[in-house]
Homo-oligomer: A and B are copies of this chain.
Amino acid sequence: MRLLEERILSEGKNLGNGILKVDGFINHQVDPILMDACGRELARRFKDIGATKILTAEISGIAPALTTGMHLRLPVVYARKHKPVTMPDQVFLTLTPSHTKGRIVELIVSPEYLSGGERVLIIDDFLASGATILGLARLAQTAGAEVVGIGTLIEKTFEGGREALSRLNVPIEALARIRSMDNDHIIFEEDPVETAG
């Protein structure tokens, strides 16, 4: 998606160790107009998969999941990383390594909002190693729900997340796919849809 790629080129910063800083429009300050455009595009790509619910992880997944949910008219559940007092005692919980935090985090969903028979579209800001998304998929499967698609704003293809997710056997979409970002020179994968057009 050209709009997102241009923004990454103009404002994204490679902090080293595989970390791309996009705090100016996604992760700390959010551009709602850009986020709405991203949600519209993700909704377009997933309009035919019959999803009944969107699942994401707090914190940075909330914005793209919300705008995708607006355009698909689907409820959005965000997995919590700390169990709030409003949650029942029995929850779905899984552990996942956080690259940016350098430790294991919990992903927690209440059974009230994720149940058998749901068709779950997972949305997140980044697809890197795929660990967070695999954690969300485990939560969905534990609930008896079926994962039917995975969408992210940015994919770092050099971290192998897409391969790690391949056993889920669902369509995976990323709006900006970064092949390399050495020396602050960000190179995107060629988009097969755009090159065909």
Contact = CB atoms under 8 A, between A and B. Distances in A.
Interface string A34-74: 01100000000000000000000011001100110110011
Give the interface centre of A28, A62, A102 by most chain B CB atoms within 10 Å: A28
Counted per complex, copies of this chain come to: 2
A33 interface: yes
A86 B32 contact: no
Nearest to A110: B28
A170 interface: no
Interface of A: 15, 19, 21, 23-24, 27-33, 35-36, 58-59, 62-63, 66-67, 69-70, 73-78, 80, 82, 84-87, 100-102, 109-110, 112-113
Given A19-B86, A28-B80, A84-B100, 12 more contacts: A23-B112, A23-B113, A28-B77, A28-B110, A30-B69, A31-B75, A32-B66, A33-B73, A58-B59, A59-B62, A59-B78, A63-B66
